[in-house]
Amino acid sequence: VGGKGIVVIFLDVDNLKLVNDSQGHAAGDRMLVDVVSAIRKRVRSYDLVIRYGGDEFLCTLVDVAPADAASTIADIRRQYTAETGHSVSVGMTTVGDGDTADSVVARADAALYAERRKHDR
């Protein structure tokens, strides 16, 4: 198969619970709308973006090199933070030959938590 590969990104909206608890659910909902807007402005129409959980999104970028996916992530972060003052944590992985949907999601999720641990120090 040609192409550059498939990259899966696990994106978590930082501090959503804190905002919901301190400013109300309308403020938290606004954060979710804003992060989706930042994602949509940067991914392509044929990339898959789903809300995976309360504050988590899963993005699958097809025919993309990991370096280009990292650039996409950086752009999403920059735009979201510039527009809202909030941040997101992100984990990224590539899809390999023996992967299943579950294994890829688990690896992207693990990468997200590894990144979060680095920032919590």
State how far the Cα of 76 lies from the Cα of 7, in Å rounded to an integer.
Answer: 15
Strand partners, 48: 60
Catalytic residue among 14, 47, 55, 109: 55
- Cite the DSSP H helix spans in 43-100: 66-84
Helices (H), 2-121: 16-23, 25-42, 66-84, 101-119
Alpha-carbon gap, residue 56 to 112, rounded angstroms: 10
Q: Which two tokens stand for residue 43?
A: 């991914």
Determine how many CB atoms are found less than 10 A away from the CB of residue 101: 11
Check if 12 is active-site: no
Which residues are designated catalytic?
55
